[in-house]
Structure 1
Amino acid sequence: MLKLLLFFNVIRLCLYSVDSYKILGIFPVPSISHQIVFQPIWKELSLRGHEVTVITPNPLNDKSLVNLTEIDVSFSYKIFIESNLQESITKDVPVNGVVDFIFTLMLNIIEAQLKHPEVQALIQDKDKHFDLVMVEFLNPAVYAFSARFQCPLIGMTSLGALLGGHDAVGNPSHPLLHSDFFLPSTGELSFFDRVYNTMYTIWYRYNYYYNVLPHHDKLVKKYIGDDLPYLGDIERNVSMLFINENSIFHSIKPNVPAVIELSNMHIKKKKPLPKDLQNELDTATEGVVYFSLGSNVRSANLSEHLREQIIGALSEVPYKIIWKWEDDYLPGQPKNVIIRPWLPQQDILGHPNIKVFVTQGGQQSAEEAIYYGVPLVGMPFFGDQFLITEKIANLGIAHVVNPETLTKQQLKAAIVEVAENSKYREKAKEMSALSLDMPLTGLEKAIWWTEYVIRHKGARHLRSPVLNIPWYQYVLLDVIGFILLVCLIVTFVLYKIILLGIKGRQKYSRHIKLKVS
């Protein structure tokens, strides 16, 4: 079978690949929800005949991909787990605290990965050459690899881009229209929302450019080379930015040509389910609720109170429950609840008996639900989950509950409402048709533009000219200042003229009076 796969891959390379390039990918975040977005890209590039090297905590380990070399940094998961992300960036933590926590965590992870012997061997290999470096555009230190190998850089995101990413290509990021995904506000903003968003963007940029970037720059000087340009300059030399955004639940942005929006990157062809799950779903004529809080929120780590409310609600709904529960034992497990530490989510959502998907609101989970036309109950905990769940609720395909104040009655009512009210499923089917009606898939766009950047040794011509002017000119401070100065001068001159006129009239009046007397 392996020989047959290799044979077909060779045939595919002959048909689709004209030029073979050397590509380095660095995707350091130890979270499968990030990695599954990028994996199809490095797999497809390998299949097209390019020599691909990837630094990742989730290697594919696919022996049929003969052009793929993976450097396994899965040890990073230990750092990620020990950070206790689930409790460290809850809704009670201010947004700036969440941002600081994530950047500090990623700095620790990147340092551990840069120390890794295989990574150091790659960095120190003077004969190594790459035509392109692709990185997750979240951790500035990894941008330095493009300067180390003197080749173009493509940034990629598994979510929307942070403000620094938009700035790097000169993309508009208005605080009221296109706010950062850490901010849980969507739709029409109140006056205080607008004030908060504006102050946040000012704080974020100050913190990023005067705190985060200098710390990452010191790190790359230590582990990659002290002869590298400043990291902020490397960042602004990025050729293109691939953003994993879905127009269904992300706001429309006036992107510059260097920003390519991708979506549904991780959606795979439906595969047969394991026999036990297939049987459970096939026999559930009453319907099934699929319950999963993703990879970064572990159901097994929920507080005892929240767990009891969820179990109470699930035990009373008239459906079978399939719950992604990461431990072998669920205290008080109801008879209608089936637990598994891992589940093939996309294949489960594709089953016709799934009535509701209870989710934390991760982007990939929301995309999968929309793809299969499954309505949702959102239970957001942190990050962009608040934004995503609010958006899908506004679309009419979900009902949102607050895990901090959740009662079993609220969750039960939400599940029954979404399962029994046909408007949710009808709207989900409508959104599914809309999201699939695209001229090219996200993967096809990513591959075409990747090879475009390599062919032209960069894509600086697609970046915004705003990168070449100072920020004060971009926000028209000099123009506004000049206009105000002109207005002030004209006002002053008019004032003096009027004043002189008044004084002249007074002198004339006195002169007339003296003459009469």
Structure 2
Amino acid sequence: MLVVWRSLGTVRAGEGSNATVTEMQSFWSRVLVLVLLSFVDPSHAYRALFLAPVASKSHKNFFSGVTQALAAAGNQVTLVTPYAPKRETPNIREVVLRDADLHDYFPNAFSGNIMAPPFIVMKGSFDVCLRTLASPEVQDLLKEEFDVVLLTSFFSDCYLSVVHQLKVPFIYVSPLGLVAPQADIAGCPTFPSFSPAPVFTFDHPMSFTQRLANTLGEVVASGVFRYLIGYVNDWTCRSRGLCPDDMPHVNDMRLNSSLVILNSVKNLESPVRPYVPGVIHAGGIHCKPAKALPQDLAQWVDESGEEGFIFFSLGSAVKPSDLPEKYRKILVSVFGSLRQRVLWKWDDDSMADLPSNVRLGKWLPQQDILSHPKLRLFITHGGLLSTLESTYHGTPVLGVPVFGDQIGNMMEVQRQGWGRTLRWGEFDEDAFRKTIYDIMGNEKMLDVVQKRSAVMRDLPLSPADEVTYWVSYIVRHKGAPHLRSPVFALRWYQLYNVDVWLAVAAAACLITYLTVCVCSYCFRSFKKVKKE
């Protein structure tokens, strides 16, 4: 209760002493939650185990949002993670895995091949999954009692062994949206005819060629994820003695989740897509009203005057110093020529040729920065977490994607009209400087992103309250099998009626053939009679 009450104090005032309408709605929503919780019997609280052994630092931001929401409702949550907590939080115990930092497997993202890093990380994730599963920290958890398990959908299939041994309902938590190769875990039908894969940059509606490429890409990706990776995980896990003999195949276990929590905002998805009841959208659950900047940074920002400042960050998955020298020089030259100050996230304290208007920082409070009234532009790598934060705080962006889904994220931002994208191969001083000024001088972009921000915040329940309710629902109803999608029981050709349409086509062909035969026979008979 104390945690929930403290959350009421996070509402940030707008201009002067008046809060915005959205912030007031959020405030009274939390008051309502507090009142409702006051009638809840503490004995109904549950013990949740959140397994996130394979994750990036940005993924943990989303996972922490889910964890904190459950803990604030009085539940005991154990989070298994490679990253030590920044601070202790009531009702949360973090089990930190040793030597499991996925960033150790990240190659130089600027090596030239944008598809290489994801595959290298994928390979490394298998090792992390199995190695951490065998660790004493994880094996000791099997001796404890839990009411529900939350499991990241990010290359953690070997941890289905824990789910099987604990014999409790489990929930998938996806740090992404519901990408096609993982749609089966939610029992959702997929439609490549209008829902492009993240690796593609197709606009809606897609042409025939784009739909063909998207469909074939989905078939290949689904085959790799559902079968190749599933069979490899299952065989490896059993051969190392980490998966019990009585455990169903990994590919079957994947289809037994009670719920899927997505890092996506449903009312901002475009084009919209159908979802089954077992899919919960929690995109932006980690987004918070801004706090004041640290004093020295606040002073530096305030001294930027009317011109304001620009924020540049490549996120946590990319090591800034891996930036090729030619690109670093372009950035230094362009930043030094701007009227604005530039705040640059960099992994060192200094830079020899740093312009006087540029400030470096190893760690920076990104959300507090994004909501600052003097911020003019966010230059980002385009990760999903940064994209959601930019939307939440109403900040236009310039995307400089490096690999993976970042490209698709930024192309979507450009299509929606609240940012621009520059590829590193197109990167030169003139193009970079011109794009910066084009975005900062574009009032329409600012208007678009602020409207999207309002839509993102305008929800009947906050993502935290939504997650809290549905996880409790799954616990109360012993996995809620009545929510189970019928898609789980159907093969792909049954789901899309392929067999039905083949039968209809075959029947139509047969009827056409018989009709032609009869007509031909009648015609020949008529000619014969006529000759006689």
TM-score by length of 1: 0.90
* Equivalent of residue 456 in structure 2, options 424, 429, 435: 435
Residue 515 of structure 1 is matched in structure 2 by none
Alignment of 1:119-130 (within 5 A): 119-123=138-142, 125=143, 128-130=144-146
Does the C-alpha gap of structure 1 residues 249 and 277 become closer, same or farther in structure 2, counting only changes over 3 Å?
A: farther
In 2, Cα distance between equivalents of 1:345 and 1:399: 20
Task: State the 1:100 CA deviation.
Answer: 4.2
Deviation larger for 13-22 or 249-258: 13-22
- Whether the 8 Å CA contact 2:396–2:418 is kept in 1: the answer is yes
Matched, 1:251 2:271: yes
Q: Deviations over 1:269-304 (max 9, x none)?
A: 322221110110111102101111111122221111
* 1:422-454 deviations in Å (ceiling 9; x for gaps): 332233222222221111111110111000001
Say whether residues 1:56 and 2:76 are aligned partners: no
Selected match of 2:206 from 189, 202, 211: 189
Tell me the distance in 2 between the aligned counterparts of 1:163 and 1:102: 19
Paired with 1:191 and 1:101, the residues of 2 have a C-alpha distance of 32
In 2: Cα distance, 1:86 partner to 1:98 partner = 6
- Amino acid in the other structure paired with 2:303: T
Native 8 Å contact 2:46 2:75 kept in 1: yes
The one of 280, 284, 296 aligned to 1:276: 296
Question: C-alpha deviations, 1:58-117, integer Å up to 9, x for none?
Answer: 24364452x33221025212x5324316247843x3xxx666444322212212211322
Q: 1:109 matched to which residue of 2?
A: 128
Unpaired runs of 5+ residues, structure 2, are 8-33
**Could you tell me which amino acid in structure 2 is paired with residue 46 of structure 1?**
A
Map of 1:80 onto structure 2: 103
* Shift, 1:32, TM fit: 1.6
Residue 287 of structure 2 is matched in structure 1 by: 267
- Which letter does structure 2 place at the counterpart of 1:270? A
1:383-462, aligned counterparts within 5 Å? 383-462=404-483
Give the drift of 1:506: 4.1
Q: Quick one: structure 1 residues 491 and 186, their matched pair in 2 at CA, closer, same or farther if it must change by over 3 Å?
A: closer
1:173, distance to aligned residue in structure 2 (A): 1.5
| One-letter identity of the residue aligned with 2:442 | N
Q: Deviations over 1:137-192 (max 9, x none)?
A: 12222233221211111111121123243112321211131233233334332332
Q: 1:443 to 1:351 in 2, by over 3 A?
A: same
Choose which of 161, 174, 178 in structure 2 pairs with 1:144.
161
Identity across the alignment (%): 27
Instruction: Tell me: CA distance 1:371–1:475, structure 2 relative to 1, closer, same or farther (3 Å).
Output: closer
Q: Is the 8 A contact 2:106 2:317 kept in 1?
A: no
Distance in 2 between residues matched to 1:352 and 1:507, nearest whole Å: 93
For 1:71, the equivalent position in structure 2 comes to 95
Q: Please, which moves more after superposition, 487-496 or 401-410?
A: 487-496
My pick for the range that moved more, 488-497 or 82-91, is 82-91
* Deviation readout 1:399-438 (Å, 9 max, x if unpaired): 2212222011111111122223333223322222222111
Alpha-carbon distance change, 33 to 145 in structure 1, aligned in 2, over 3 angstroms = same
Instruction: Describe the shift of the 1:478–1:307 C-alpha distance in structure 2 as closer, same or farther (beyond 3 A).
Output: same
Q: Which position in structure 2 is the counterpart of 1:205?
A: 222
Of 45, 67, 72, the residue aligned with 1:47 is 72
Letter in 2 for 1:255: Y
Q: For 1:434, what is the secondary structure of its paired residue?
A: helix
TM-superposed CA distance for 1:249, in Å, is 5.4
1:14 Cα offset (Å): 6.5
Distance of 2:83 and 2:528 partners within structure 1: 91
TM-score normalised to structure 2 length = 0.87
Question: C-alpha deviations, 1:252-275, integer Å up to 9, x for none?
Answer: 111111111122111123222211
Moved more, 343-352 or 14-23: 14-23
Q: Which amino acid aligns with 1:55?
A: V
In the other structure, the counterpart of 1:218 is 235
CA contact (8 A) 1:25 1:133 kept: yes
Cα pair distance change 1:6/1:36, threshold 3 Å: closer
Pairs within 5 Å for 1:4-23: 17-23=42-48
**Which whole-Å CA distance do the structure 1 matches of 2:78 and 2:297 have between them?**
36
Unaligned runs of 5+ in 1: 513-517
C-alpha displacement of 1:26: 0.5
Q: For 2:330 and 2:86, how far apart are their aligned partners in 1?
A: 41
Q: Secondary structure at the match of 2:331?
A: helix
Distance, in Å, in 2 between the alignment partners of 1:202 and 1:99 is 19
> CA 1:420–1:146 in 2, change beyond 3 Å: closer, same or farther?
same
The secondary structure found in structure 1 opposite 2:439 is helix
Q: CA RMSD in A?
A: 2.5
Q: In structure 1, how many angstroms separate the alpha carbons of the residues matched to 2:38 and 2:56?
A: 35
The CA distance in 1 between the partners of 2:3 and 2:44, in whole Å, is: 22
Question: Structure 1 CA distance, aligned partners of 2:93 and 2:473?
Answer: 22
Asked whether the 8 Å contact 2:177–2:263 carries over to 1, the reply is yes
CA contact (8 A) 2:52 2:80 kept: yes
- SS of equivalent to 2:312: strand
Task: Identify which range, 362-371 or 352-361, moves more after superposition.
Answer: 362-371
Residue in 1 that maps onto 2:27? none
| Structure 1: distance between partners of 2:527 and 2:96 | 91
CA 1:501–1:187 in structure 2 vs 1: closer, same or farther (change >3 Å)?
closer
Once residues 368 and 358 of structure 1 are traced to their aligned partners in structure 2, the CA distance between those partners, rounded to angstroms, is: 13
SS at 1:236's partner residue? helix
Among candidates 478, 481, 484, match of residue 499 of structure 2? 478
Partner of 2:401: 380
2:201 aligned counterpart, secondary structure = coil
Paired residue secondary structure (1:260): strand
Name the residue aligned to 2:28.
Answer: none
SS in 2 for 1:404: helix
147, 152, 156: which is aligned to 1:131? 147
Against the structure 1 CA distance between its residues 129 and 507, is the aligned structure 2 distance closer, same or farther, given a 3 Å change threshold? same
Contact preservation (8 Å) 2:161, 2:242: no
Q: Provide the rounded CA distance (Å) in 1 between the counterparts of 2:477 and 2:158.
A: 25
Distance 2:405 2:504 in 1: 41
SS in 1 for 2:78: strand
Going from structure 1 to structure 2, the CA distance change for 1:496 and 1:18 (only over 3 Å counts) comes to same
**Aligned-residue offset at 1:36:** 0.6
Alignment equivalent of 2:313, drawn from 268, 278, 292: 292
Q: Is the 8 A contact 1:160 1:181 kept in 2?
A: no
> What's 2:183 paired with?
166
Counterpart contact for 2:308–2:375, Cα < 8 Å? yes
Contact 1:161 1:243 in 2 (8 A): yes
Write the letter of the residue equivalent to 1:83. Answer: F
Closer, same or farther in 2 for the Cα pair 1:74/1:392, shift >3 Å? farther
